[in-house]
């Protein structure tokens, strides 16, 4: 897993080359967009929706279940994202999209999704397979950007932002790993409480997932300002097993930052400490990818400190095996 994280910018370069060659058709009368996918395949949709939320002119729904919303019809763009191409929930949603005559585009490395895409002549982009889906977010996210730009719902500037992100991560590579190692030492065998200040919840969700899968630890996340209206009230008892990790970008809203300034002393009082991670970069994409990369490194270093294999996901394999019996 560390080797895969090490090669993140190489993956982004390869993903950009794939996107440059991909041919995506134009769409007609799109009134809404649904991105359907789960886990490492689905998180790209969450991140993309935040990246373009201030520019996209139609609603974007992220679907992580067997079923599509009832509103999906011929005026819906459904983007199917499944790394393996065999995710059963995503295949169920894809079959519904077909029956509802939605306009469909697929991102996958193969499997049934690719087979259906070819059979029905849907737009599709094939990405390299063979690795854990969570390690291939660069491939999937870049192709999502390709589709959404080609369909006319995001600015082409996102492609130059990819190149700038690669340059940033290469430049900051040593500093990112050094900071990640220091942070990992504070998190090992603790329960992480992860907060976003509203602009990068996708990166926070990604970090939670990486702590779950790579570090094999439970944690939770929430987002400002929503947590101020519920979870904040739970901070009443000292618990040295908790460590708060916060993700910050330069796009955080001023009043949200003020809310955090008020809350931080509360977190410090009732936890074992607070770790603030500040994104670097100019664009949203640069900053999101910076946070994703440092989060990935942290999860690997925590696994290393715990003496466990970050790649193994035996419990998920067991779940799939039991489901296959039905």
- The sign of the dihedral angle between the CA atoms of 247, 252, 253, 257 is positive
How far apart CA 41 and CA 107 sit, in angstroms, is 9
* Whether 27 contacts 182, CB under 8 Å: no
Describe the crossing of helices 8-21 and 284-306 by its angle, rounded to 10 degrees.
Answer: 140
Tokens of 111: 């499997």
| Residue 165 CA: distances (Å) to CA of 39, 93, 142, 197 | 23, 32, 12, 21
How far apart CA 48 and CA 56 sit, in angstroms, is 11
Residue 245: name the closest of 310, 197, 306 by CA. 197
Active site residues: 213, 229, 320
Strands 76-82 vs 60-63: parallel, antiparallel or unpaired: unpaired
Task: Give the chain's end-to-end CA distance (angstroms, integer).
Answer: 32
**53-78 core/surface letters (b: 16 or more CB in 10 A; e: else):** eeebeeebbbbbeeebeeebeebbbb
Tokens of 314: 């035996």
């Amino acid at each position: 897993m560390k080797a895969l994280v090490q090669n993140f910018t190489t993956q982004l370069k390869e993903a950009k080359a794939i996107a440059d060659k991909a041919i995506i058709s134009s769409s007609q009368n799109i009134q809404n967009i649904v991105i359907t996918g789960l886990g490492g395949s689905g998180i790209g949709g969450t991140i993309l929706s935040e990246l373009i939320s201030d520019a996209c002119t139609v609603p974007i729904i992220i679907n992580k279940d067997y079923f599509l919303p009832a509103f999906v019809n011929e005026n819906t763009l459904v983007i199917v994202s499944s790394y393996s191409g065999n995710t059963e929930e995503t295949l169920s949603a894809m079959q519904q999209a077909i029956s509802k005559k939605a306009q469909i585009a697929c991102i996958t490395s193969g499997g049934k999704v690719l087979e259906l895409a070819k059979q029905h002549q849907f737009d599709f982009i094939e990405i390299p397979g063979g690795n854990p889906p969570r390690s291939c977010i660069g491939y999937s996210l870049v192709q999502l950007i390709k589709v959404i730009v080609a369909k006319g719902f995001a600015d082409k500037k996102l492609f130059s932002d990819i190149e700038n992100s690669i340059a940033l991560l290469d430049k900051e590579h040593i500093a990112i790993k050094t900071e990640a190692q220091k942070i990992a030492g504070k998190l090992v065998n603790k329960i992480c409480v992860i907060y976003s200040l509203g602009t990068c919840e996708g990166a926070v969700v990604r970090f939670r997932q990486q702590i779950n899968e790579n570090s094999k630890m439970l944690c939770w996340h929430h987002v400002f300002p929503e947590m101020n209206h519920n979870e904040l009230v739970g901070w009443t008892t000292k618990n040295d097993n908790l460590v708060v990790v916060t993700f910050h970008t330069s796009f955080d809203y001023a009043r949200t930052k003020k809310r955090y300034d008020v809350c931080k002393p509360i977190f410090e009082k009732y936890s074992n400490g607070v770790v603030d991670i500040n994104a670097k970069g100019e664009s949203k994409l640069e900053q999101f990818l910076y946070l994703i990369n440092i989060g990935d490194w942290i999860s690997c270093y925590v696994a290393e400190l715990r003496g466990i294999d970050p790649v193994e996901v035996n419990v998920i394999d067991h779940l799939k095996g039991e489901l296959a019996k039905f």
